[in-house]
Amino acid sequence: MAEPLKKGKKACTECRQQKTKCDVYLNPKEPCTRCRKVNANCVISDPFKREHKRKRLSELEHETKDLRRKLRASDSADLNPSPIPPLTAATNLTPRTESNSNLIHGESHIPPSLYPTQLLAPGGMGNTLLTPGPVPALEAGATRGRSLHGVEVSGDEIDDLFQLFFRHYAPFLPILNPDTRPDTYYAQSPFIFWCLIGVSCRAYIRNPTLLMALARHVIEMAFLSALSTSPPWHTIQGLLLLLTWPFPKGDHPDVTFQLGGMLLHIAMGNGLHIPMSSHEFSRVKIPVPSEGDLVRRSELWAHTVIVYQRLCMIKGQLPRGLVSPSQDPRQYQPPFDTIAPWLVLRLRCQELIVRCSESVSENGVRSMSIEQERALDALLHTCEGHVDDLDLQAITEDDRFDTGLCRMAIQSFHFYKVQTLVSSSFYPHVVATACDLIDHVQSLADQRPGCVAMCPIQISFGLLLASTSLLRILKSTASHGLDTSRARSSLFTAINIAKQMSVDRSDLAAKTTRVLTSLWNSSRAFHKADGGECTAMRIRSRLVLSPVLDAVWWWKDEFDRPSRAVRSSMEPADRSALMHARYGGAVHTGSGLGAGMNVNPDIAGGMMVPPSSTSELNQNSVFQLDEQFLADFEWALGGDPLFSLDPLPADWTCTSNTP
């Protein structure tokens, strides 16, 4: 008699799972009736354990969602990463040390997989959970070549330029994602793509023709980007790049000042200036930004303000402050407490320059009495005390460069003084600051040979401001007793660095080299016609830039051959008629505004000066106010009436006080 089946093997696993009757025991070699009917796999298994159907379904659903989320994240990282990672948002979580400081700002501590997918919504401020607009699928492989108005750039060149940018340029302005492919950048925003190409080709040896070939076309794209329907952060990013590394002046006018205003207003129009309420500036209803969004918006706004205020300083204009005293500070302070420390320090340095410039303007710059000059001394002393406080927060070499440039900008206002210029004994402090600033730039050149041409505009301007200040002091008789050997060495170092910085003969560095070299070898620079020393500046309306422009005009008066040829061709009678038509023969005002003041046409715009200083200023050699040269030097900004004057004749001076 056959042994009966064990109780545990009377049914197959499928029937046991469904708790249905199973007849597999009748013929163990054949599937049971139910399994044959539903076409299931009929198996008898000892270790079988019945599963909870609903629990298993829930687990499968969660597993499916998790796989989909990972797939979306993978696609985003590979094909469509955002060009705005929070590259500086987490730098304050890791303390910085001297070992990683070389005038290049911190790399991100956030892995690429955690980059946000969006910063701004297409119509304004958005939430990082939203996804950007559709981007065409790009096949992996070689980068496609691109062309802009007939200027061809091959795929290999694009790859080289992107690598060059993220290796040498991006650390100065960390706002772009280095893991984004060039084709993806182009698909998201052709403007950002060409801005990045235009910046990185400054020192591209394989094709040195690209820089000037692309310059005008990229600038035209910058102005047209304000009309673009693309997300506004693309425009903000592109403008930040162009204003940090502006193109040399070629066949296009200098429009960096205009682009700076456009940058600020686009950022404000999208609520970046109020990060906590930026969602209120969107044309569509979007979620309130998260804490991480606030930090990223705050950092992008900080970059915008720094670039805008720096540009105004370089152009000799008074910029708009970051926060008005009448505005609620609670809207601004919380986010700025969490952004990167080096970014906060740079922001505070620029704000200090703005406040100092405003106070100096209120004190008066056109003509100052001795009381005003003493008040200026007290004001600058107070501002330098604030720089000392900022110095205590400077950890790295790049931090110290920022505070050094801030101190140099503030000390440049000492040159506005006439009556207390020498007695105030500020020359030793200016020499020390200027030499330190040049040493910082030299250290960068030593650490990264061949990369000086990639420095952003604040470094080249700091070099120019420091070197012209040293030149003016070394040409002065008051330089006796100073450490002139170090000052001379630093001046010559600045000239050599400027040569390395130059990427085109029309750029700022090339003109700096030409002006400094000529003035150093000149026996007439900063001297009157009779050989006496000229201590008063004749450019007095351009704030921090005035000492630089004043030196440039000394160079122009002696070495600018085209202007000298034009004025020498004029007859003496024509020159006199020109001056009479320009100034009406009136160099003294008897009543009303400016009564008792002498108008000296030797000084920019016929400025009014106190009678006590007129005798000295009237003996100065005369500048030729050539509008084209100022445009060539990239600082003719049209807002000051002195730039509309015609060149003054070489032999014309006005010493008469007769109405």
The pLDDT of residue 54? 66
316's torsion region: left (phi>0), alpha (psi -120 to 50) or beta? left
Mean residue pLDDT across the chain: 75
Written as six digits, the tokens of 605 are: 């715009």
- What is the tens place of the pLDDT at every residue in 298-326? 889 999 999 999 999 999 998 865 555 45
3-state secondary structure 178-207: CCCCHHHHHHHCHHHHHHHHHHHHHHCCCC
User: How confident is the model over 576-607, as pLDDT tens digits?
Assistant: 454 444 333 333 333 333 333 333 333 333 33
Question: Which pLDDT band, with edges at 50, 70 and 90, does 420 fall under?
Answer: confident
Kindly report, residue by residue over 139-160, the tens digit of the pLDDT: 457 899 999 999 999 999 999 9
Helix (H), strand (E) at residue 125: strand 124-125
Distance CA 450, CA 161 (A): 16
Is residue 546 within 8 A of residue 537, CB to CB? The reply is yes
Position 307 scores a pLDDT of 96
Tell me if the domain spanning 1-48 has CATH number 4.10.240. yes
Least confident stretch, 160-164, 493-497, 629-633: 629-633
Letter for the amino acid at 62? H
Sign of dihedral through CA atoms 651, 653, 658, 659?
positive
The number of residues making up the chain comes to 659
452-479 mean pLDDT: 93
Residue 60 CB neighbours (<10 A): 10
Interval 230-280: pLDDT, tens = 788 889 999 999 999 999 987 778 899 999 999 999 999 888 887 777 667
Which comes out higher in pLDDT, residue 388 or 84? 388
On the question of pLDDT at 644 being above 70, the answer is: no
* 113 pLDDT higher than 50: no
**What are the tens digits of pLDDT across the range 336-371?**
677 889 999 999 999 999 999 999 999 998 888 999
The crossing angle, in degrees rounded to 10, of helices 427-447 and 457-474 is: 140
CA-CA distance, 387 to 406, in Å (whole number)? 7
Location of structure tokens 């500036």: 281
Q: Give yes or no for a contact between 123 and 284, defined as CB atoms under 8 angstroms apart.
A: yes
Higher-pLDDT residue of 647 and 451 is: 451
How far is Cα 475 from Cα 535, in angstroms, rounded to an integer? 10
Residues 6+ apart with CB under 8 A from 116: 82, 84, 85, 86, 128, 292, 293, 296
Specify the pLDDT at position 429. 93
Res 634: pLDDT: 42
pLDDT in tens, 53-97: 666 677 777 777 777 776 665 544 444 444 434 344 433 333 333
Question: What is this structure's pTM?
Answer: 0.69
3 state SS for 35-100: HHHHCCCCCCCCCCCCCCHHHHHHHHHHHHHHHHHHHHHHHHHHHCCCCCCCCCCCHHHCCCCHHH
Q: Report domain extents, the chain.
A: 1-48, 79-131+151-331, 544-659
The full DSSP string for 596-641 is T-EE-TTSGGG-EE-HHHHHHHHTSPPPB--HHHHHHTT---S-SG
- Average pLDDT of 634-659? 36
Predicted local distance difference test score (pLDDT) of residue 322 = 58
